[in-house]
Chains A and B, each alone.
Chain A
Amino acid sequence: MAREIAAPGGIAAMAGATEVLVARRPAWQRLLRTAVRRPLGTIGGGIVALICVAAVGAPLVARYDPAQSFQIQNSHYNPNVASDKGYNTTTALDQYVQDSKSAPSAKHWLGTDEAGRDVWSRIIWGARRSMGIGVPTMLLAVAVGAMLAVVSGYFGGIVDTLMQRVLDAFQAFPSLLLLLLIGSAFDLNARNLVLSLAFVGVAQVSRVVRSKVLTLRELPFVEAGRVLGATDLRLMVRHILPNTMGTVIVVFTIGIGSVILAEASLAFLGLTHAGVSWGMMLNSGRNFINSSPWQAVFSGAAITLAVLGFNLLGDTLRDVLDPRLRI
């Protein structure tokens, strides 16, 4: 912003002066100070970092193939079963059976699921699924939402009123209901899931960013730009948009948490199909929760931890970047 106004003399001197007055420490030192002062945000950032590592490095972090079904020696196995008529043949025939629904052990840190697959490995791969839906969804939502918000907030008038009414209409649907409606018309594969979640996200992003634009457009630097002959397009793209970035980053971070939650809800209801998904794991784990609660408890904990991480990080980013923002 300072660089923008720097060309003509008087204003440049003022902008430059404020720049000099604030003695700036190196970026990493400032980051460290913020981290120490805001422990909750640091915890959130740590959780988010862990999830990113799990998502990116899933093949390395997971101990086994998430689809691999483990076998175990059958304790009821009886090689003489064919000649022994009185024996229960269904459990005695096979030498190996699936190692299903086992409790946590050194071999399977979080136990195994109903098909003998390693829950820990599946939770790690589930992080890839959650982030693989969450990040592209919010990137799309933020790109479209911020653009709409800047245009409608900047021009105001009839465009703005129309857009507000459309957003109000979307607001009338609880977001899960909107997703179910979209799910009734489209097959919710990964691409459609991202598109429909982003569609829901755009309404929320643009609402928040628009209110920021409304305050920004009244500020002197926008007026100054206009006096200097900047076009509407230039004012929007070079002056207002960069100043919404704090808000956008906060919305982006908190948004990923809610997208992860929405994906988990849809997967929980069995409306999406993926190789591995936390919501799916929680749903299937519910069927044998009394005999072996591991899968349900851990996959649900993964969803909670992920949402918690993004919420804590987002809250702290808001306190730092845009304290007046209310989400």
Chain B
Amino acid sequence: MPKKTNPVRAFFSSVKLTIVLMILIALLAVGGTFLPQQQEAGDFLHRLPPAAAEWLLRLQLLDIYHSTVFYLLMSLLSLNLIVCSLNRFPSAWKKIRAPGFPVPEGLFPSAGVEQTFNVKEGKDTVVSRLESLARKRWGSVDRQETERGVFLFAQKGRFAHLGVYVVHVSILIIILGAVVGSLFGFEAYVTIDEGQAVQEVELKGGRGIRQLDFAVRCDKFTLEFHENGAPKTYRSDLSFLKDGKVIRQGALLVNHPLSFETIRFYQSSYGMSEDNKAHLSFSRNGVRQQPELVLTEGDVFELPGSQAKGTVLRVEENIMEMGPAVKLLISSPRGDVQFWVFRHIEEIKQMNPGLLNEMPLFNPALFKPYEFSLTRVEQKYSTGLQVVRDPGVPLVAGGGILLIAGLMMTFWMSHRRFWIWIFSDGEGASIHIIGMSNRNPAAFEKEIRNLHAAVRKAMTI
């Protein structure tokens, strides 16, 4: 009696549905590559008539991969995969568990690739020889003695039937991993100036600010170029701090993310900070004071041997076409003085004799007995980091490996079954060999020929 099929179940288990869903998903995906998505959609929307823009937004066509329709299609596909697999799995399992005995009806003679040999050895010798030959080839052999003679059965690759299910389960695991990632993970971005530490990151897509349990400091950003001008290295030296203490330090490069606790950091971009770094040194009564100071705008420094304090007012890479310079404010009980320290003060003096008398503001030795000099002004960088937590990654990775394994099982493994029937024939014995394979008949035929040769070799024919 045929089982009553539930129409809902029948609908979800149909391969037609799978194909339709795959076509729809592919079409939506195509749309997503031609229409600007998410952040990129802004400019595009402004150029459209308002009515068209509203329709695109309402249909979620500018964020297709996160649209209701897309999620719905993916859910239907998942459901389809589950129902389809559950429906078909029992029959596959039956094939895996199928015993070799009793020999399927109608198998002999000639249901597959069959070959008959008449040999001079007696039946028992033949059986024991073939049994050991079969054991060597296939590992294990089943044997059945009947009135018609002895049957041997061996098989390999029966789990090939599982391949399809492994593929389907792997796809479900990957989808699950993506869902877990989007529910429990986050993607954020943060810009850190060199020397600065942050604890807050900006969530992607304007979803607000996220507070981290620790602080990240960018100690240094390094940018290197190849000879042809193409970028060679983007590198951020980072420190991870908890309660103001450095817990870990490391170098972050493109392709080499850093992890701290459950969060991963990626080198994503870089920028020029508004602050430049000035390398400043000074001498007192002509005696150079060590060490060189590295200062940015607003920094305050002490002048040893006096009660004066210096403040950096400005750091310029090139001011008035005269090269790098810093403007300092020196405060002392004598009062405040302000002046510029130019990197190239010697050249400037040579080109404008008497300048320092006319413009004391340009005199690096204005605050006596100190004289300042500027070694260089360095660009201060900021680093752009992507900050990610994705607990779905292990699932996706596992699903990926399973997918490849499943595809290989599906396409390149085959379930091969061999039956050998041996019975007495006069003085000697008669051997019949039949083999069946669920796929790749060409390769199987070769294997059978190979088997025949081995049998011939083991016998006197």
Partners in one complex: no
